[in-house]
Structure formats: C-alpha cells, structure tokens
C-alpha cells in the first residue's frame, strides 16, 4: 500500500498543474511539487498552513469566495469548479481554474477536499482583451459609441434617482479631413490620439470620454451645472489649441456643442441634442467668417 501511494505521489509530482489536499477550513494536508514551486516554499513549509495565508491580502476575497463554495459540497454534489487569481512567489498574479472534489465521512460530512488547479492566465487575458476591444475605440482607447450610449443610459437613471443633471459635450474637430488629405493618415491618427490624451487629462475623474466617429468625441459630465459646463467647454478649447509636440504646424480647432438632462431623456436623444448644438455652433462660426470675408475694405484714398 505504501509503495503504491509513493508511486502515486511520484506521478502527481510530474503534473504541471497545482495539486493539493486540504481541510474544509483551508488547512493544507498535501501539496505536489508544482504547488510548492509556485509559492516558492517547500512542502514542509506549506503543509499545516491555510492556503488563505498564501494568496496575498488583495486577493484573499477571491479565494475566500471559492472556499465558501467548496464548503457547500454534499455527497450528492461532490465537485465544484472555481476560477480565481493567485499570486506566485515573485508577486505575479496568475489565474487558475480549480476542480475541487469533496471527501465525506460515513455521516456525509465534508472532511477533506482534493483540488487540481490549472493555470488559465493566457485564456483569461485573451478574453479580457476581447471584452476591452468590444467596448473601446482601438486607436484612442476611449469608449466606443455602443459603450458610451450604455454608460449614458446608466447615468441618466442615476440622475433621476439623485435629482442631478448630466451634461454631454459633443466635440467635432474642424477641417480634420484637410489634415488627413494633406499630411496623411498617420499624422491624422497622431492628432486623434493627442486629442484623446488632452481631453482625458483636462476633464474630471468622474467624466467619461468616448470617440464615436472619425473625428468626433463625446464627454459625459455627471452632476454638472450650466456654469461648470461653460468652463469645461472653454477649457477644452484652450487645451486643444496648444501646439502639438513634433507637429507645430498642425493647429487643432474644434466645434463643441452640449446638452443637459435631468434624467428624463433617452441617451440617444441627449446625444442628438449635443450633436445638433455642435452643428449650430459650427454653422454660426462659418457664417461669421463668411461675413468677415465679404466686408468691404476702406480705400485709403478716401481718407481726408
């Protein structure tokens, strides 16, 4: 029997997965070589200690949630699967998929758990990256249109409950097509990235930014009154007018419109209102420039 058990332990020590046995309170009874190596300890150091001590303070909640699920095992439901983060001996965080199988006494009480943990960090990172890409603009990292609309819906619901207002700023870069046509799309992309960085740096932590079109940006500003919106618009104009690093001859100007809601509007309608205000401002500026161009100049010869 002892020889067979030793052979089994030798086999388990060849596993790349983490293998352990523990009591329902988390006290370790056995660990394989991979488990000990992951934590940078010897088996002797680990056996008799709770694995809750090994996970690090910031990850302890993750592991405790998994342990509570394990403690609910019964002879009828003897296996549970968990995924949570663990920190290795070098401080790196890894994701593990755990299969925990309960061992029960004759009275049906859980007395021991056998567990196998497989490193699934690469899969989790790929999944999280896919979720990120689905919600964000790939060039600037800001929210895309779909995610921004969902955020606006959530914020409008909060406005109704808290009796607050939500302001939405719609930013459209003037003559951006000329930059693309004259300087190329690489320079155009640099301009868009620079605009995104300046807006993120210049607005408040609670404000949320999105890029919803080629050269169109939206900033959602919760709990903001009229005077604060005017200040934010002025700040945005000032930030965007600063010369670009390495592209001093590229001047960024923008038309900015805005709309406010007390939470009774739909997100799409609020966005359309800000968009309409932006186009009204752009049209007014265009008319003003056209008027100035048509204004007759004085003839010096008519001076007395």
**Residues labelled catalytic:** 215
Tell the burial category of 136 from Cβ atoms under 10 Å away from its Cβ (0-12, 13-18, 19+): middle
Of 103, 136, 123, 114, give the one whose Cα is nearest residue 35: 114
Q: Does residue 41 contact residue 130 with C-beta atoms inside 8 Å?
A: no
Q: Which residues contact 193 (CB under 8 A, 6 or more apart)?
A: 139, 140
Instruction: Quote the CA–CA distance of 234 and 221 in Å, as a whole number.
Output: 14
Six-digit token string for 28: 């370790």
Q: Which residues contact 102 (CB under 8 A, 6 or more apart)?
A: 70, 73, 74, 75, 78, 79, 110, 112, 113
DSSP string, 38-107: HHT--HHHHTTSBGGGTS-GGGHHHHHHHHHHHTT--SSS-EEEEEEEEE-TTS-EEEEEEEEEEEE-TT
Instruction: Quote the CA–CA distance of 236 and 254 in Å, as a whole number.
Output: 9
């Amino acid at each position: 029997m002892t020889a067979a058990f030793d052979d089994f332990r030798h086999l388990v020590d060849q596993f790349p997965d983490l293998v352990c046995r523990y009591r329902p309170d988390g006290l370790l009874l056995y660990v394989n070589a991979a488990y000990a190596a992951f934590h940078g300890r010897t088996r002797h150091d680990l056996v008799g200690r709770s694995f809750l001590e090994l996970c690090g303070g910031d990850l302890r909640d993750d592991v405790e949630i998994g342990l509570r699920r394990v403690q609910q095992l019964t002879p009828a439901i003897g296996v549970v699967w968990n995924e949570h983060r663990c920190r290795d001996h070098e401080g790196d965080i890894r994701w593990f998929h755990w299969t925990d199988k309960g061992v029960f006494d004759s009275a049906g009480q859980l007395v021991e758990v056998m567990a196998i943990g497989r490193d699934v960090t690469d899969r989790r990172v790929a999944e999280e990256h896919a979720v990120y890409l689905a919600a964000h603009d790939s060039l600037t990292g800001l929210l895309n249109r779909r995610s921004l609309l969902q955020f606006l819906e959530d914020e409008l619901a909060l406005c109704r409950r808290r009796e607050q207002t939500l302001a939405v700023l719609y930013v459209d870069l003037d003559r951006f097509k000329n930059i693309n046509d004259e300087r190329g799309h690489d320079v155009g992309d640099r301009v868009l990235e620079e605009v995104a960085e300046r807006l993120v740096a210049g607005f408040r932590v609670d404000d949320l930014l999105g890029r919803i079109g080629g050269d169109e940006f939206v900033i959602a500003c919760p709990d903001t009154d009229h005077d604060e919106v005017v200040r934010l618009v002025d700040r945005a104009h000032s930030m965007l007018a600063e010369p670009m690093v390495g592209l001093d001859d590229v001047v960024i100007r923008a038309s900015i419109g805005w709309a406010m809601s007390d939470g009774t509007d739909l997100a799409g309608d609020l966005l359309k209102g800000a968009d309409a205000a932006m186009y009204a401002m752009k049209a007014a500026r265009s008319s003003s420039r056209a008027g100035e161009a048509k204004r007759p100049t004085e003839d010096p010869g008519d001076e007395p």
